[in-house]
Chain A
Amino acid sequence: MRKMLDKEKLVTTDREENYSYWLRLHRLPPHFPLLGGDVAEPPSEPFLRDGGEEMRRLIDQVLGGFRSMVLVPPGQGATTLLNEMIRRLRASEYRLFDLFVPIDVKVLAKADYLNEELERMIREDIFRQFARQGWVRALKGTRKQLLLACFDMANEREMFDLEYGLLRGEPSAETLLLEAASRHEGQLAKLIRHLHTNLGISTALCFDFPHDIGDDAVLETFREVKWFDEQEKGDGFPPSALRETYFLTRQQANLARTVWAVNFNEFEIRSFNTGEVFSILNHHFRPAMGGQSYSLLNALSDEFVALVWEDNQPLACMSRHLKDKMLDVLAAIPRGKIPYQLTPEVKP
């Protein structure tokens, strides 16, 4: 009788405990295999398809038009793509005379007056980039003087002081920056036109729409941009002064195009396939042993991904299902028989 009870205990070992043990075995973090959201710090280098070729085409598309939509399957890395695009464009070995301004629509949607928040975000980011990215060193002659005039500064030393102060996180430097930006409050179109006409610098707005944000926020954001386009730019606004790029899902793009019939250049990012999803997991999570990391495939069969993969599904959703599958498998295995490589088939 006692022998039978022990045996039963072995079989019904707590699946969470087994899971935790298996993670420790491979030195994987407790949040494995969850992806997306605020689960953990993303890796320093993002996962890019085709060795970055897709990113290069995306950049060509964005730089080649004044109004682009980048259609990303829901929950499949729109923010990652946007951030990497901006990082690459800002880090270009040749300075592009474009200010890339990221706009988080989730933050916008929380504001009481979306238009004011949008205007503030753009204005302050423009000034922050001028102060932080050494523009005063890149511009010469009257262009440099006009940039200093935007900040109400007499010479470039003051700009260097501001840059250093911001770098050190000094509150006074932040105050100075915000004061300079606030002097142009309510005059965004005029500011963008001035930067383009007199300093030769274009502004590029990059809107990041979370896939799960509601229709209200999508429509209201496009309404503000449309209003700016039609009413605030005014006659003779140079088309090349402002570039707009929207990172959003196809459904969101359709909704926007239903209410604003203008030409958008479209660039579609295709859904990750099973191989790529596993590759992303492998990129985020590396098992380790003896101070060395190795491929996730040694620890986890890629057949798990095939079981949970669905077209156009958020990565966060697939990774949650993946964890459920792993827990199911581990629930059926006694602790003493947990395998090194986990596969969907239970081999008691």
Chain B
Amino acid sequence: MKKREIVQYAETLFAHTDAYNFPALFANRDVSRAFVVERVQAKDPRVIVVSDILGSGKTFLINMVVNALGQQNNRPLICGRIRPGDLGGPFAMIDEWDIKAHPKRFRQTLDLVEKAHAKGGMTLILLGDFTLKSAGFRQAMGGEAALAYVPMEPLNPPFFNLAMRQRVYRIRGNLSEDQTGADRERFIAPELEAALVPDWMVTSANFRDVLKALLQMAGHLEPVDQEGMIGEREAKAWLNEHAPQGMSEAQRRFYQEFVVYLRGMVHDDGGWPAIRPLAEGTLKSDLGFGNLSDEAFRLEVVEPLARSPGLVSAMGTPEVSEDGSYYDRFPGPYLPGTYTRLRIGFGA
């Protein structure tokens, strides 16, 4: 693809799925889609739960299903906004059960849902992050037997590739949406793609984050009529532009050590190994923070970095306290976020 074309089409190539002004296709989620359709049509008495990381396309998935089922008049409800009367019909989907919610309102909605479900005769679909897999949520809903978790396709390289292929075809206009078998035109350098979407991204990153980074990197590409790709030069410019700010001394020291530690794991040819989520205790001892208490390490070092986009991804299960007074939003273990993975590959 010519560099000028990448710049020209960047908004479409890297649009997140719900971008209103640049409609983009979404890679088919055949298994998850079929699962939801089947459960709804079978009037499964269990609550259907779509639980995945933020930005993984849950809402888009359910919108596709709802349209396919002819339920588009049922507007999605949102966790925390629901009033008792809202759950009177035979079908309801409730979105945004995630760390953005206020814990008190999360609990209030959970109570309403639990009561509506107990009455029976209703199809309920809940969408949210891994909080929907937390012990507190399962217990409130009456245990595992009351819940049908949708098996979500992993956000892995083949999935990413499929999404990119579909978008290229949309731009070119020469192939149908389903014709996705052929190789796509390259517009992302392989080593950059490997860092952005490693195999184990299945749990650590989201497409929205990756697509946003690519869109911003495309902004560093020269708009000339010359074949090219988004690659090292653009990645370095992006890293420079988005250098983390406002870290404390301990956080800075941790982050430097974290990058060096992970860089040691990457293969000599730039290939990425499968990195398992790293427990707080492991990070604390391996990166030289043994002198800090566990609590201080978490609250002053790791968690603030998990609360900054792209640095450290919290992989634990978020939990809302039973009285709705507290939301543990960024628990460990941890993995490198998008910025850190690029820093390992292309940064200083």
Q: Verify if A219 is at the interface (C-beta below 8 Å from B).
A: yes
Q: Verify if A267 is at the interface (C-beta below 8 Å from B).
A: no
Interface residues of B in 300-338 (CB under 8 A from A): 304, 306-309, 327, 329
Whether the pair A261, B78 counts as a contact (CB closer than 8 A) is no
Whether the pair B215, A250 counts as a contact (CB closer than 8 A) is no
Measured CB to CB, the closest approach of chain B to A100, in angstroms, equals 23
Q: Say yes or no: A261-B206 contact (C-beta < 8 A), given A227-B78, A255-B307.
A: yes
Measured CB to CB, the closest approach of chain A to B232, in angstroms, equals 22
Stretch at the interface among B14-22, B141-149, B166-174, B193-201: B14-22
Docked complex Cα distance between A235 and B76 (Å): 16
Whether the pair A254, B308 counts as a contact (CB closer than 8 A) is yes
Whether the pair A220, B308 counts as a contact (CB closer than 8 A) is no
Q: Verify if A257 is at the interface (C-beta below 8 Å from B).
A: yes
Q: Verify if A212 is at the interface (C-beta below 8 Å from B).
A: no
Whether the pair A115, B327 counts as a contact (CB closer than 8 A) is no
Q: Verify if B37 is at the interface (C-beta below 8 Å from A).
A: no
Measured CB to CB, the closest approach of chain B to A338, in angstroms, equals 41
Whether the pair A263, B216 counts as a contact (CB closer than 8 A) is yes
Interface residues on A, range: 20 to 34
Whether the pair A251, B59 counts as a contact (CB closer than 8 A) is no
Q: Say yes or no: A233-B20 contact (C-beta < 8 A), given A223-B96, A250-B245, A259-B99.
A: yes
A214: nearest chain-B partner, CB-CB? B102
Whether the pair A113, B20 counts as a contact (CB closer than 8 A) is no
Q: Verify if B110 is at the interface (C-beta below 8 Å from A).
A: no
Whether the pair B309, A257 counts as a contact (CB closer than 8 A) is yes
Interface residues of B in 151-209 (CB under 8 A from A): 206, 208-209
A-B contacts, CB under 8 A, total: 80
B101, B208, B215: the one within 8 Å of A220 (CB):
B101
B98, B206, B245, B329: the one within 8 Å of A215 (CB):
B329
What sequence of 0s and 1s flags, for each residue 205-216 of chain A, a beta carbon within 8 Å of any chain B beta carbon? 000000000011
Interface residues of B in 41-83 (CB under 8 A from A): 54-55, 59, 76, 78, 80-81
What sequence of 0s and 1s flags, for each residue 77-120 of chain B, a beta carbon within 8 Å of any chain A beta carbon? 01011000000000000011011111111000000000000000
A239: nearest chain-B partner, CB-CB? B21
Whether the pair B208, A219 counts as a contact (CB closer than 8 A) is no
Q: Verify if B212 is at the interface (C-beta below 8 Å from A).
A: yes
Chain A at the B interface: mostly helix, strand, loop or mixed?
A: helix
Chain B at the A interface: mostly helix, strand, loop or mixed?
A: loop
Measured CB to CB, the closest approach of chain B to A334, in angstroms, equals 44
B78: nearest chain-A partner, CB-CB? A227
Q: Which residues of chain A are near B308, meaning CB under 8 Å?
A: 254, 257-258
B244: nearest chain-A partner, CB-CB? A254
Interface residues of A in 221-261 (CB under 8 A from B): 222-223, 226-227, 229-231, 233-237, 239, 250-251, 254-255, 257-261
Q: Verify if A262 is at the interface (C-beta below 8 Å from B).
A: yes
Whether the pair B59, A230 counts as a contact (CB closer than 8 A) is yes
Whether the pair B309, A115 counts as a contact (CB closer than 8 A) is no
Q: Verify if B246 is at the interface (C-beta below 8 Å from A).
A: yes
What sequence of 0s and 1s flags, for each residue 311-345 of chain A, a beta carbon within 8 Å of any chain B beta carbon? 01000000000000000000000000000000000
Whether the pair A261, B101 counts as a contact (CB closer than 8 A) is no
Q: Which residues of chain B are near A254, meaning CB under 8 Å?
A: 246, 307-309
Measured CB to CB, the closest approach of chain B to A204, in angstroms, equals 18
Whether the pair B59, A259 counts as a contact (CB closer than 8 A) is no
What sequence of 0s and 1s flags, for each residue 205-233 of chain B, a beta carbon within 8 Å of any chain A beta carbon? 01011011001100000000000000000
Docked complex Cα distance between A263 and B209 (Å): 10
Q: Say yes or no: A222-B76 contact (C-beta < 8 A), given A261-B212, A263-B215.
A: no
Q: Which residues of chain A are near B99, meaning CB under 8 Å?
A: 219, 259
Whether the pair B96, A261 counts as a contact (CB closer than 8 A) is no
Docked complex Cα distance between A215 and B325 (Å): 12
Docked complex Cα distance between A219 and B102 (Å): 8
Whether the pair B81, A115 counts as a contact (CB closer than 8 A) is yes
Docked complex Cα distance between A233 and B19 (Å): 11
Measured CB to CB, the closest approach of chain B to A212, in angstroms, equals 16
Measured CB to CB, the closest approach of chain B to A254, in angstroms, equals 4
- Most chain B CB neighbours (cut-off 10 Å) among A233, A234, A250, A261: A261
Docked complex Cα distance between A219 and B80 (Å): 13
A234: nearest chain-B partner, CB-CB? B20
Whether the pair B100, A219 counts as a contact (CB closer than 8 A) is yes
Whether the pair B78, A258 counts as a contact (CB closer than 8 A) is no
Whether the pair B212, A258 counts as a contact (CB closer than 8 A) is no
Q: Say yes or no: A258-B103 contact (C-beta < 8 A), given A113-B81, A215-B329.
A: no
Q: Say yes or no: A258-B81 contact (C-beta < 8 A), given A216-B327, A230-B59, A263-B215.
A: no
- Most chain B CB neighbours (cut-off 10 Å) among A217, A222, A250, A312: A250
Q: Which residues of chain B are near A223, meaning CB under 8 Å?
A: 96, 100-101
Interface residues of B in 272-324 (CB under 8 A from A): 304, 306-309
B338: nearest chain-A partner, CB-CB? A261
Whether the pair A236, B209 counts as a contact (CB closer than 8 A) is no
Docked complex Cα distance between A250 and B307 (Å): 11
Whether the pair A261, B21 counts as a contact (CB closer than 8 A) is no
Whether the pair B100, A259 counts as a contact (CB closer than 8 A) is yes
Q: Which residues of chain B are near A237, meaning CB under 8 Å?
A: 20-21
Q: Which residues of chain A are near B212, meaning CB under 8 Å?
A: 261-263
What sequence of 0s and 1s flags, for each residue 2-45 of chain B, a beta carbon within 8 Å of any chain A beta carbon? 00000000000000101011010000000000000000000000
Q: List 9 A-B contacts (CB under 8 A).
A: A114-B102, A216-B103, A217-B102, A223-B96, A250-B246, A255-B307, A261-B16, A261-B55, A263-B216
Q: A251-B307, A260-B100, A263-B216 are in contact. List 9 more A-B contacts (CB 8 A).
A: A227-B78, A227-B95, A230-B18, A230-B20, A251-B246, A257-B308, A261-B55, A261-B208, A268-B245
Which 7 residue pairs across A and B have the least CB separation, nearest first? A223-B100, A261-B208, A257-B309, A254-B308, A250-B246, A219-B100, A230-B18
Which B residues are within 8 Å of any A CB, using their own CB?
16, 18, 20-21, 23, 54-55, 59, 76, 78, 80-81, 95-96, 98-105, 206, 208-209, 211-212, 215-216, 245-246, 304, 306-309, 327, 329
